[in-house]
Structure 1
Amino acid sequence: MAINYLSAVAQQYPFHLSSAQEYQDEQIIQMFLTACAKAPNTRRNYYRALEQFRQFLSGVPFREVSWREIEAYKIYLTKGFYRDAQKPLAPASVAAFIAPLKSFYKWGSDRGIGLFDHNPAQNIRIPAIVVTSRRHYLTRNEVGKLLETLRRQSLRNYLIGLSLVLLGLRVSELCGIKWKDFNADLLETSVWLTVSHAKRGKTREVKIPHDLWRMYQEHARKLAGSPEPDPELVLFAITPRQIERIIKQAGTTSGIQKQPTPHWLRHTNATLALLQGASLQQVQETLGHAHINTTQRYLHTVEQMKKAAPDYVQDCLMEFM
């Protein structure tokens, strides 16, 4: 009996089997997620945003939405109607709900897709987000105290801290590392990590310092109980939430007067790299930023740490001080 493979695939991904007018909203959402949200976290966040908007529409199909409905939805979020306590969402939270809608309608209204006649979200503005991460970093001494605390706990915890601050990984990327993700370069002088659990489903290569690679080998061999670990071995088989707790508790134990998170160590990586002479492009490639503008945010912190105007004035007037 011949198998109709096209029909089998269409049960979950009904891309080209009927006219656009016959697609249900749920089918359109699934097609969008399949095409545009490769990473699990992105897929989950996009689905949450689209499902919340669909509930707000109360039966109005996606294809009948105009900019008015989206603006009304933005008011619904910003004025506190979204929460039972009537408390407005922060701009960053509103942006997290609106940005997926803009991507969704831009994708669906593309001439090659043709699911929507127009893009009702084209002129919708995402709320301005105040950058609060400028002070979310650790100093060199604070990093040392944190790492020393983690080192005393276990090799695994020490490697977690080192991986976050040396490689600038996101916590979800750290949790996804497998032994097969490490590869030597052509001359076998360096080892590179293929980060395959990045945002937007993209992959990137991050260079592994020699001492860190030696510790990775030791950790993997202990986990595997063998000098040749299985390629599918997961190096950090714990959840992002557990890693957050490990870093937070280590910060408390080490006596740091801050409450560090894994993402703080990512900010620290970018700031230290720029201070030590790395280029914006190098930092962008290591962190996996889609746009150089995101990386440029760290320049403000770096410039603040360098010699400022008062320092120059003091140099000039030193003989009078």
Structure 2
Amino acid sequence: MTSINNLVADYLHYLVVERGLAANSVASYQNDLKKFSAFLAEQKVELTAIDKKVVLDFLEAQTKAKLANASILRLVTSLRKFFQYLVEEGKVEVDPMLLIDTPKKKVSLPEVLSPKEVEALLKTPKTGEALGLRDRAILEVMYATGLRVSELVNLKLADLHLELGIIQTIGKGQKERLVPIGDVASKWVKLYLKQSRPKLVKQKRNPYLFVNFHGNQLTRQGIWKNLKALVKQAGIEKNVTPHTLRHSFATHILENGADLRIVQELLGHADISTTQLYTHLSKKRLSAVYKQNHPRA
């Protein structure tokens, strides 16, 4: 009998070769299915014995382990797609996930900076220094484009079309999109390319736009670490992550009248329901402004 671990390995191979999923997505499926496999081994459950009760027991165990609601939702999605694959491949006859309801998603609004806080953050890096000028260019690009941090660190020199006011990026699902970049962000990128980047890369040939002190590609962790330090220096007390600038970008352009479909395109969302989260943020701000300013609020 084929073991669950072998089937998981086959499925992950299928996701890479047949579906062409990004490494991060495949890693998420791997982590989820690894938890499920470990649970089956612990409970001594064979592949043919997996039914609705086994899956529910697994999900209950994850809930008791205080796994976040979003992680539980992802587990259900991962298992649903995995068993669909097994049925299509003839590895199992019955899909237990057909009898499992997807838990309701808890809608939590992301942290957003005010325009004043964004301005304070942008002015924090010491632009007279090579790394400070780089950090200013990074912050300007993030706020001007709403790029994900993974998209930002993978930006290459060849992706810049500053004379046209656009940059190319590869988003989730390996989908390419063109994103406008404003004049202010373009100015700081040009300054970084002229004054800072040559000092950092020295004689190295590096295709990536943003580099670290050693001239190598900047990592997501590097961006996060630098941002935390800059937020502290700016005196901002909110929990700010690289994604916060993406949220702020979307919220601010919606508040200033941008169409939801345009924002969806700019952010690279496959489903507009994801983008609609930002309308809740805008309404929340409208309500706060009303209460603050109306004499009878």
Report SS of the residue matched to 1:235.
Answer: coil
Kindly indicate whether the alpha-carbon contact (under 8 Å) linking 1:224 and 1:230 is maintained by their aligned counterparts in 2.
no
| 1:265-312 CA-partner distances (Å, limit 9, x unpaired) | 111011001011111111111111121111111111111222679669
Q: 2:20, 2:47 → 1: CA distance?
A: 19
- Picking from 17, 26, 36, the partner of 1:53 is 36
1:129-179 CA distance string (max 9 Å, x none): 323334x00001100110100354612111221122211111111111111
Residue by residue, what CA displacement relative to the aligned partner does 1:59-110 show, whole Å, maximum 9, x if unpaired?
Answer: 6565653222221110110122xxxxxxx22212222333222222234434
Indicate conservation of the 8 Å contact 2:109/2:277, yes or no.
no
Does the C-alpha gap of structure 1 residues 205 and 313 become closer, same or farther in structure 2, counting only changes over 3 Å? closer
Unmatched segments (≥5 aa) in structure 1: 1-19, 81-87
Q: 250, 253, 256: which one pairs with 1:270?
A: 250
Q: How does 1:2-41 map to 2 (within 5 A)?
A: 24-34=6-16, 35-36=18-19, 38-41=21-24
1:139-288 to 2 correspondence within 5 Å? 139-150=114-125, 152=127, 154-183=132-161, 190-196=164-170, 198-221=171-194, 222-224=196-198, 232-236=207-211, 237-288=217-268
For 1:240 and 1:124, locate their aligned partners in 2 and report how far apart those are by CA, in whole Å: 36
Equivalent residues of 1:92, 1:127 under 8 A apart: no
Match of 2:274 among 277, 294, 299: 294
Residue in 2 aligned with 1:130? 106
What are the equivalent positions in structure 2 for 1:22-101 lying under 5 Å apart? 24-34=6-16, 35-36=18-19, 38-58=21-41, 60=45, 65-80=50-65, 88-101=66-79
Q: How far apart are 1:238 and its partner, in Å?
A: 1.7
Q: How far apart are the structure 2 equivalents of 1:257 and 1:132? A: 19
Contact kept in structure 1, 2:210 and 2:218, CA below 8 Å: no
2:168 aligns to what SS in structure 1?
strand
State the distance in 2 between where 1:273 and 1:94 align: 32
What percentage of aligned pairs have identical amino acids? Answer: 28
8 Å contact from structure 1 (residues 179, 233) kept in 2: yes
Q: How many residues are paired up?
A: 281
Deviation at 1:26, TM superposition (A): 4.0
Secondary structure at the aligned position of 1:122 is classed as: helix
Taking structure 1 as reference, are residues 311 and 102 closer, same or farther at Cα in structure 2, changes over 3 Å only? same
CA RMSD of aligned residues (A): 3.3
Q: Which amino acid aligns with 2:166?
A: W
- Alpha-carbon distance in 1 for matches of 2:254, 2:126: 26
CA contact under 8 A between 1:33 and 1:43: conserved in structure 2? yes
Structure 1 length normalisation: TM-score? 0.76
For structure 2, the 5+ residue unaligned runs are 212-216
Deviation by residue 1:189-246 (Cα, 9 ceiling, x = unmatched)? 72432222x22333222122233234334434553579xx978334342221121111
Cα distance in 1 for partners of 2:27, 2:124 equals 34
TM-score (norm 2): 0.81
Letter in 2 for 1:65: I
